[in-house]
């Protein structure tokens, strides 16, 4: 097994270009534009498409997709390194054609969509002419599909959807929604649901309210009620009962991208923390001279580097093994540790900035709140820790005797038996 910690020169040039492009051209947009998926914003219409055109000229558009869909088909390591840069700016994923939830929805459509579905929904989505919504979680059960109640019944040639969904991101801007609904309540838990494409203009879709998160001024996470929403039979994605399998298509790699975008946010906060420590003085010396501040900076750097290596190693395993099932616990480990590191780095940066750090004039308080969001999105931290533990424990076997094989007395007895002849010979020669 060979290990390397360097990027090939050609791709590094692309990363260097991305770094400057995001810093100089995209980061300023976060102070000018509202939601990056609000296609009704005239400023977005003028500012975003020219930047997208430049990205396409560089061959960096939607790189998570294969060449047949206009992407580069990059593996997870390259995508991870790219997303670390994109995480610094809210508008960057849209400019590079890899924004959530559209990127995951595009993968679902690419894998399971019919030619007609791809023509109507996938291509406009890939071209960022429209955006989409993934409508899965429910008010009473969160992200646990085993307790979903939103159902879809096949009546004639139409699916009729009734129920409620919660935290359906970007629903207010979406041209269509991908809805997970119960189609066979009597089937085994993970075979009860199916995925359906629902155009946003379909009668019966009601956005009860749009919920804001943390310091968001305008909510984009919809509480949706579906009342006798009818879609054609051919709007099913995959087979009936495949909803859980289809959903997994969009999650594994997406969690790595999400982690590296969070990595970019943390690095940005860390840079601010270090600059503040050097620039601010108290009690006759710079904050950087205080041992407790030095400890906060050291802990943050260590946390960031450890997390980055874990994410990239997991990405490397995905690329190498080409089987998400064999990397499931690695992905869950990334997801489980991300909220803690995110929280701790931003909390330390806030503390070092004092009252300014607590204010809305700096990003730290919003980041601390967002760390809790990361602990819930794509499955809560607790669930991922259970996954890690179960996968790891599956590699071990319990002791079949009262005292385990690693009991020191048993090991000593085994060692004596192993080297009995040599010991006896040495004793005889003494």
Provide the residue ranges of all domains of the chain, joining segments of one domain with +: 9-99, 132-247, 253-393, 399-430
**Contact criterion met (CB below 8 Å) for 168 and 134:** yes
Q: What is the DSSP string of 133-191?
A: EEE--BTTTBT-GGG---EEEEETTEEEEEEEEEEEETTTT-SEEEEEEES-TTS-GGG
Long-range contacts (CB closer than 8 Å, 24 or more residues apart) made by 22-31: 22/85, 22/86, 22/88, 22/89, 22/92, 23/88, 25/51, 26/51, 26/89, 26/91, 26/92, 26/95, 27/88, 27/89, 27/92, 29/89, 29/90, 29/91, 30/89, 30/90, 30/91
CATH superfamily to which 9-99 belongs: Acyl-CoA dehydrogenase/oxidase, N-terminal domain (1.10.540.10)
Span of 141-145, 280-284, 286-290, 352-356 with lowest mean pLDDT: 141-145
pLDDT tier, 337 (very low <50, low <70, confident <90, very high otherwise): very high
Predicted TM-score of the model (pTM): 0.90
Per residue in 171-196, pLDDT tens? Answer: 999 999 999 999 999 999 889 999 99
Instruction: Report the pLDDT value the prediction gives residue 32, as an integer from 0 to 100.
Output: 94
- Find the range with the poorest average confidence among 77-91, 108-122, 241-255: 241-255
- Residue 229 to residues 122, 153, 171, 199, 337, Cα–Cα distance (Å): 22, 10, 15, 10, 39
Contacts of residue 146, defined as CB under 8 A and 6 or more positions apart, other chains included, come to: 189, 190
Query: What is the predicted pLDDT for the residue at 2?
Result: 60
Q: Is the pLDDT of residue 324 over 90?
A: no
Question: 400 by DSSP, 3-state: which?
Answer: coil
Give the per-residue pLDDT at 251. Answer: 63
Question: Cβ contacts of residue 266 below 8 Å, gap of 6+?
Answer: 304, 307, 341, 342, 345, 346
Asked if 273 and 348 touch (Cβ cutoff 8 Å), the reply is yes
Give the number of C-alpha atoms closer than 13 A to the C-alpha of residue 157, restricted to the C-beta side: 2
CATH class, range 132-247: mainly beta
**Per CATH, domain 253-393 is 3.90.1150.10:** no
The tens digit of pLDDT for each residue in 351-385 reads 999 999 999 999 999 999 999 999 988 888 999 99
């Amino acid at each position: 097994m060979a290990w390397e910690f360097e990027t090939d020169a050609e791709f590094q040039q692309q990363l260097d270009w991305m770094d400057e492009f995001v810093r100089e051209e995209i980061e300023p947009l976060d102070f000018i534009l509202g939601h990056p998926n609000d296609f009704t914003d005239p400023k977005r219409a003028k500012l975003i498409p020219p930047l997208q055109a430049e990205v396409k000229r560089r061959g960096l558009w939607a790189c998570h997709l294969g060449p047949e869909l206009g992407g580069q088909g990059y593996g997870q390591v390259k995508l991870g390194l790219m997303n670390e840069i994109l995480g610094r700016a809210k508008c960057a994923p849209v400019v590079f054609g890899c924004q959530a939830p559209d990127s995951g929805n595009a993968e679902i459509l690419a894998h399971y969509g019919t030619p007609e579905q791809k023509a109507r929904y996938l291509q406009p989505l890939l071209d960022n002419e429209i955006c989409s919504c993934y409508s899965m979680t429910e008010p009473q059960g969160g992200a646990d599909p085993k307790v979903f109640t939103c159902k879809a019944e096949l009546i004639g040639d139409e699916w009729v959807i009734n129920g409620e969904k919660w935290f359906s991101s970007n629903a207010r801007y979406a041209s269509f929604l991908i809805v997970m609904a119960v189609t066979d309540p009597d089937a085994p838990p993970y075979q009860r649901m199916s995925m359906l494409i629902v155009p946003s203009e379909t009668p019966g879709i009601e956005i009860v309210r749009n919920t804001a998160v943390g310091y968001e001024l305008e909510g984009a996470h919809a509480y949706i009620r579906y009342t006798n929403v009818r879609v054609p039979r051919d709007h099913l994605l995959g087979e009936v009962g495949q909803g859980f399998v289809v959903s997994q298509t969009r999650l594994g790699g997406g969690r790595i991208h999400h982690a590296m975008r969070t990595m970019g946010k943390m690095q940005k906060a860390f840079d601010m923390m270090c600059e503040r420590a050097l620039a601010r003085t108290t009690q006759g010396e710079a904050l950087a001279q205080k041992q407790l501040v030095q400890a906060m900076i050291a802990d943050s750097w260590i946390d960031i580097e450890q997390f980055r290596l874990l994410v990239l190693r997991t990405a490397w395993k995905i690329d190498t093994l080409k089987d998400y099932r064999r990397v499931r616990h690695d992905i869950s480990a990334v997801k489980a540790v991300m909220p803690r590191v995110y929280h701790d780095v931003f909390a330390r940066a806030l503390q070092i900035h004092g009252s300014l750090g607590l204010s809305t004039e700096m990003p730290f308080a919003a980041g601390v709140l967002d760390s809790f969001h990361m602990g819930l999105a794509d499955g809560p931290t607790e669930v991922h820790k259970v996954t890690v533990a179960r996968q790891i424990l599956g590699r071990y076997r319990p002791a079949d005797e009262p005292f385990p094989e690693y009991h020191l007395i048993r090991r000593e007895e085994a060692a004596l038996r192993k080297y009995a002849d040599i010991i006896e010979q040495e004793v005889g020669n003494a």
